[in-house]
A and B are shown apart, each in its own frame.
Chain A
Amino acid sequence: MNEEIKRTSGLQAKLEENGVNASLDELINFKQTVDNLFTKDTLTEEQRAVIATKMEKLISAYDKIAAISQRKISNQEKAARIEKELGTVPDDFIRQATKEIENVDEKMNSKIKGIKSKVKELFANATKSIGGFIDSHIAQKKEEAEQINKQETALIKNPEKKGALKRLFSILKENPADWKEVEQEDGTIKLINEEGEIRGIIETKDAPHWAAVEQSVLDAKRAFGFVNKIKTFVAQEKAGSTIPTQEEKAKNAEKKAKAEKSIGKINKNKKEIEETLANAEKGALEHAEQRGKQVKEGGRSIETIKGLLQSFKDAYMNTKDNAQIIGNTLRIWDAKDDSKKNAKKLDKLNEQKAKLEKQIKKAQNSKIKADTSLKEHTEAKAEAKQRIASRKEARRGADGMEH
């Protein structure tokens, strides 16, 4: 598996989006994935507890049967004691157990078949998902390349930006037999004959209005009789195609090669991934087959079974612990919801606060205006008083003089 693709592509997320409930590592290190399928159950806590009790009773029955079997009494006596202990005659129990063994055996076969189907489904989904992802990755690369082309064309269409004028000048210069000299100045190309007369002017200043250029070229044709190359050039420019320079050609070729290399690399990776997955699927199915045989062969001792039953009961405890953890998590989520509600409240309060602040500022401005106005009024009043006092003083002075 290409580690870089795995790391950078978000492939795992894509797998999950497409319902592949195993990580890539799990698929490739398939043994653990398959083993997990053998331990997967859909038991409820209650079912687990009931099954554990039934199994414990069966173990206890086995212990009693084994103990009776060890006793130095006749087999008939053993059978009688067992009948007393089991509440059923051994023959009946053997018949029932045989039937149950057959039933469990069939059930296990069906479950193992189901596991193989699950493995196939898992790999089919992963392969489809990865294939789809890589195809879209390639399409994206192609689109990127297409975008570069479009951008280049857009640039080339504008001769001022991409040197079309320069190229036109080169074409004219390459044909000295038709005109002695070519001058380029301020977006104008002048075609000069042997007598030094200007016989044609190609206005390219207002490019990309190629109609004007074409007209100039036609005028030039009348003067020199050779403009096919230029006409082709103008037609191509007008059609949006281009005559790239050698440098541009090289750059484009480089870009194209790079894109092709990149697409090739992705395709190679795709092939590698598909091969890896196909091999892993083959291995997973083989492992499921072997594991199934191994599980069905059984042959566990009663002590092993007792130990395994304890693990079965512990799984029940784990389920309880997990339920506790999930309960706590849900409470945390609820708390998060509360905090969301609180955040909304806070937003509203902040809005109200902003409104109040605006009102306070408005009131403050009004107060400042009022204060200024009052100050001005007081000053004016003081000035008026001063003027009246001065006038009175002057009048008193005048009266004094008269007396």
Chain B
Amino acid sequence: MENLEFLTEEEKDAMSVNDLAIYLDLLKLIKSELEGIKEGE
């Protein structure tokens, strides 16, 4: 799998608040899934 990339500062600055919120939710979902696995270790 290709390396995951976060958005650049420039990209985030140009995005709308609503679009940034989608990105934020996505990051939170991934983080939450990973933390779930980690907690169960």
What is A's interface to B at a CB cutoff of 8 Å?
37-44, 47, 50-51, 54-55, 57-59, 61-62, 64-66, 68-69, 75-76, 78-79, 82, 84-88, 90-91, 93-94, 96-98, 100-101, 103-105, 107-108, 111-112, 115, 292, 295-296, 298-300, 302, 305, 308-309, 312
Q: Are A105 and B24 in contact (CB under 8 A)?
A: yes
Q: Which of B10, B18, B38 contacts A39 (CB 8 A)?
A: B18
Q: Which residues of A contact B13 (CB under 8 A)?
A: 42, 107
29 residue pairs bridging A and B, Cβ less than 8 Å apart = A39-B16, A39-B18, A41-B14, A42-B14, A43-B15, A47-B14, A51-B19, A54-B7, A57-B5, A58-B26, A61-B30, A62-B29, A64-B1, A69-B36, A75-B41, A78-B37, A87-B1, A87-B3, A90-B34, A93-B30, A97-B30, A97-B34, A98-B31, A101-B24, A298-B25, A299-B25, A300-B22, A302-B29, A312-B22
Whether the Cβ atoms of B20 and A79 lie closer than 8 Å is no
- Which chain A residues lie closer than 8 Å to B11 at the CB level? 43, 47, 50-51
Complex: A76 Cα to B28 Cα, angstroms: 22
B21 touches A41 (CB 8 A): no
Q: Tell me whether chain B's interface is mostly helix, strand or loop, or mixed.
A: helix
Q: Are A82 and B5 in contact (CB under 8 A)?
A: no
Identify whether the interface residues of A are mostly helix, strand, loop, or mixed. Answer: helix
Interface size for chain B: under 10, 10 to 19, 20 to 34, or 35 or more residues? 35 or more
The answer to whether B4 touches A61, judged by C-beta atoms less than 8 angstroms apart, is yes
A-B interface, 7 closest residue pairs, ranked by CB to CB distance from nearest: A41-B16, A298-B25, A75-B40, A97-B31, A75-B41, A295-B21, A90-B34
* A300 to B24 alpha-carbon distance, docked (Å): 10
The answer to whether B22 touches A82 (Cβ under 8 A) is no
Residues of B within 8 A of A78 (CB): 37
Q: Is the CB of A93 within 8 A of B17?
A: no
A82 smallest CB distance to B (angstroms) = 7
The CA of A111 and the CA of B23, in the complex, are separated in Å by 15
A58: chain B residues at CB < 8 Å are 4, 26-27, 30
State how many angstroms separate the Cβ of A236 from the closest Cβ of chain B: 71
List the A side residues contacting B3 at CB < 8 Å: 87-88
Tell me the B residues contacting A by CB distance below 8 Å.
Answer: 1-7, 10-31, 33-38, 40-41
Min Cβ gap A294→B in Å is 9
**Contact residues in B for A54 (Cβ distance below 8 Å):** 5-7
Q: Per a CB cutoff under 8 Å, which of B4, B22, B31 touches A57?
A: B4
Q: Which residues of B contact A50 (CB under 8 A)?
A: 11
Assess whether B22 is in contact with A309, with CB atoms less than 8 Å apart.
yes
What chain A residues lie within 8 Å of B19 (beta carbons)? 39, 41, 51, 312
- Of A38, A76, A79, the contact of B18 (CB 8 Å cutoff): A38
Given known contacts A62-B26, A79-B41, A90-B38, A44 and B17 CB-to-CB distance under 8 angstroms: no
Docked CA distance A78–B33 (Å): 11
**Chain B residues near A94 (CB-CB < 8 A):** 31, 34-35, 38
Residues of B close to A69: CB separation below 8 A: 33, 36-37
| Chain B residues in 8 Å Cβ range of A305 | 22, 25-26, 29
Give the chain B neighbours of A300 by CB distance below 8 A: 22, 25
Task: Return chain A residues, CB-CB under 8 Å to B7.
Answer: 51, 54
Give, as a whole number of angstroms, the nearest-CB distance from A63 to chain B. Answer: 10
Contact at B35–A115, with CB atoms within 8 Å? no
Docked pose: A68 CA to B33 CA in angstroms: 10
Q: Are B17 and A62 in contact (CB under 8 A)?
A: no
| Chain B nearest Cβ from A127, distance in angstroms | 25
